[in-house]
């Protein structure tokens, strides 16, 4: 018949920031206090199917497990942005990487959800509008709409329409590798939103952190354009450490690292002195992400593979942006 099927599936990949996002100027719209730059990660994927129908409530399954409570409420609120009339959604999402390892899946998750839900609702969004929509779910998800290396613009407007991510260069531009070193699971991390709000409100270093971002954006952009590994390493490690320093100086402190995190920071620095191209970055958790070149990947992998501070090791190259399935 001519029954309209309101269903769509999408795939999006995670991303890691090289210049970090840490702080919102608008918490409702997820508008960032400054811009950020990232690499989209091949292989760290979320696949999501959304169907709208005349049901009584939204249902969401992540890796076959039903989401309830706050998690479900957050998705429902996000779906309200695209929901056709009073229809409810059935959402099925799977991650290709171990969710249990504590690797952030919100970037790939909300990017895939934004694309699948808007398509299922019959909306034809431009890539910029899609990035703005994904941003509403999770800030970093704005960057996972884009492939390769992405820049998320701070934007000027209060309605958020100019705060979206764009591709700086495609994945093929630079064959970097990101080696994710999973450290032992500790107590549950402070969620990024909570950590950044608290840093903004109480850290004496927050204003200085923002100044580093404004200085680092142009340099990181140039380093990516020119494939200048040494320069990107300097800027990226600096941005990561400045972000964590601002969080650590919050009162009470927000400390994402465990002992292994610090041990691995030193190991990366040792490996670099030995001549391997490598630098580290760390997000709102204890894991260490090591960037290296395709050339030095084997050496870096061999160094960390059986390291006592490494529970699990994943390798990703630059990935493509979000796509419909």
Site residues (vs ligand PMV, CB under 6 A): 17, 20-21, 36, 104, 106-107, 138-140, 192-193, 283-284
HSE-up of residue 313 (Cα within 13 Å, Cβ side) = 19
For residue 22, which phi and psi values (nearest 5 degrees)?
A: -150, 85
Quick check: 115 and 126 in contact, CB under 8 A?
no
Quick check: 70 and 251 in contact, CB under 8 A?
no
**Beta carbon nearer to ligand PMV, 39 or 82:** 39
**Beta carbon nearer to ligand PMV, 59 or 99:** 99
CB of 1 to ligand PMV, least distance (A): 42
Collect all residues with Cβ–Cβ distance below 8 Å to 163 and sequence separation of at least 6.
Answer: 29, 31, 32, 132, 135, 142, 152, 153, 154, 155, 157
**Beta carbon nearer to ligand PMV, 49 or 281:** 281
CB of 257 to ligand PMV, least distance (A): 13
CB of 29 to ligand PMV, least distance (A): 13
Structure tokens of 170? 């495609």
* DSSP secondary structure, 161-211, as one string: TT--EEEEE-GGG--EEEEEEEPPP-SPPPPHHHHHHHHHHH-TTHHHHHH
**Beta carbon nearer to ligand PMV, 52 or 149:** 149
SS3 content of the chain, % helix, strand, coil (to 5): 40, 25, 35
**Beta carbon nearer to ligand PMV, 89 or 284:** 284
Structure tokens of 134? 């994904």
**Beta carbon nearer to ligand PMV, 121 or 183:** 183
For residue 235, which phi and psi values (nearest 5 degrees)?
A: -70, -45
CB of 322 to ligand PMV, least distance (A): 15
Secondary element (H or E) of residue 292:
strand 288-293
How many Å apart are CA 64 and CA 60, to the nearest integer? 9
CB of 106 to ligand PMV, least distance (A): 5
How many Å apart are CA 229 and CA 243, to the nearest integer? 21
CB of 118 to ligand PMV, least distance (A): 19
- Of 188, 191, 259, 242, the closest CA to residue 18 belongs to 242
CB of 170 to ligand PMV, least distance (A): 20
CB of 275 to ligand PMV, least distance (A): 29
- Of 291, 307, 158, 284, the closest CA to residue 237 belongs to 291
**Beta carbon nearer to ligand PMV, 15 or 118:** 15
**Beta carbon nearer to ligand PMV, 139 or 321:** 139
């Amino acid at each position: 018949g001519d029954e309209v099927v309101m269903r769509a599936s999408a795939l999006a990949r995670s991303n890691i920031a090289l210049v970090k996002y840490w702080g919102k100027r608008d918490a409702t719209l997820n508008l960032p206090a400054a811009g950020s730059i990232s690499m989209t990660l091949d292989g760290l994927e979320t696949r999501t199917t959304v169907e709208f129908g005349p049901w009584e409530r939204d249902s969401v399954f992540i890796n076959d497990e039903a989401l309830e409570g706050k998690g479900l409420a957050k998705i429902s609120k996000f779906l309200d942005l695209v929901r056709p009339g009073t229809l409810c959604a059935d959402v099925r999402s799977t991650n290709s990487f171990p969710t249990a390892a504590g690797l952030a899946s919100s970037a790939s998750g909300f990017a895939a959800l934004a694309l699948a839900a808007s398509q299922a609702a019959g909306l034809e969004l431009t890539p910029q509008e899609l990035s703005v929509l994904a941003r509403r779910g999770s800030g970093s998800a704005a960057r996972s709409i884009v492939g390769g290396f992405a820049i998320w613009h701070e934007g000027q407007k209060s309605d958020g329409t100019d705060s979206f991510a764009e591709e700086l260069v495609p994945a093929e531009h630079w064959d970097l590798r990101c080696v994710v070193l999973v450290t032992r699971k500790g107590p549950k991390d402070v969620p990024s939103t909570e950590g950044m709000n608290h840093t903004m409100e109480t850290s004496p270093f927050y204003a200085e952190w923002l100044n580093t971002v404004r200085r680092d954006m142009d340099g990181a952009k140039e380093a990516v354009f020119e494939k200048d590994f040494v320069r990107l390493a300097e800027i990226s490690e600096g941005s990561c450490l400045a972000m964590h320093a601002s969080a650590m100086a919050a009162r009470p402190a927000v400390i994402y690292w465990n002992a292994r995190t610090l041990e691995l920071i030193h190991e990366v620095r040792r490996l670099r002195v030995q001549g391997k191209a490598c630098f580290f970055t760390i997000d709102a958790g204890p894991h260490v992400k090591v960037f290296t070149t395709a050339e030095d990947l084997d050496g870096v992998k061999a160094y960390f593979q059986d390291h006592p501070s490494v529970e699990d090791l994943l390798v990703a190259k630059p990935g493509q942006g979000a796509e419909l399935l």
